[in-house]
Amino acid sequence: MNIIFTIIAAPLLGWYVGKRLIAVSLYISGMAVVFSFQTLAVLIGWLGGERGFGGASDHGAFGPTPTGLPLHFEDAEVWSYGALNLLITAVGVGLVVLVGWLRARRQRTAVAA
């Protein structure tokens, strides 16, 4: 979900929003909302017994499907989920800045010509 948001929103924000700080702030704000919904969907799927990506694994996103309380999960899987989403967010910020830089460069060459 956040990968699709990054692919669509980051270049558009970088191109159409003139100030990079505002474009990056808008991207991070949008990513926060998308991340919240994605995390909720993954958590509900795990609690509901859905399998991992493609249904190939024998457990969900955070280990075996829980059967009761307290919930048991792998700390490493939670940290890797967070690290991967942080990496995707960093790539998105980089895309916003790169596309904004390309837009500004194109405008400078168009004015100079």
pLDDT, tens digit, for every residue of 39-94?
998 888 878 877 665 555 556 666 777 778 887 777 888 898 899 999 999 999 99
Indicate whether 10 belongs to any domain: no
Q: What is the pTM of this model?
A: 0.83
Greatest pairwise CA separation for the chain in angstroms: 69
What pLDDT does 53 receive? 58
pLDDT tens-digit map of 16-28? 998 999 999 999 9
Indicate whether 9 belongs to any domain: no
Indicate whether 71 belongs to any domain: yes
What amino acid is encoded at 18 in this protein?
A: G
Q: What sections of 48-74 are H helices per DSSP?
A: none
3-class secondary structure, 76: helix
Residue 104 sits in which domain range?
A: 17-112
- Domain total of the chain: 1
* Interatomic CA distance for residues 57 and 78, integer angstroms: 17
Indicate whether 29 belongs to any domain: yes
Indicate whether 58 belongs to any domain: yes
Indicate whether 72 belongs to any domain: yes
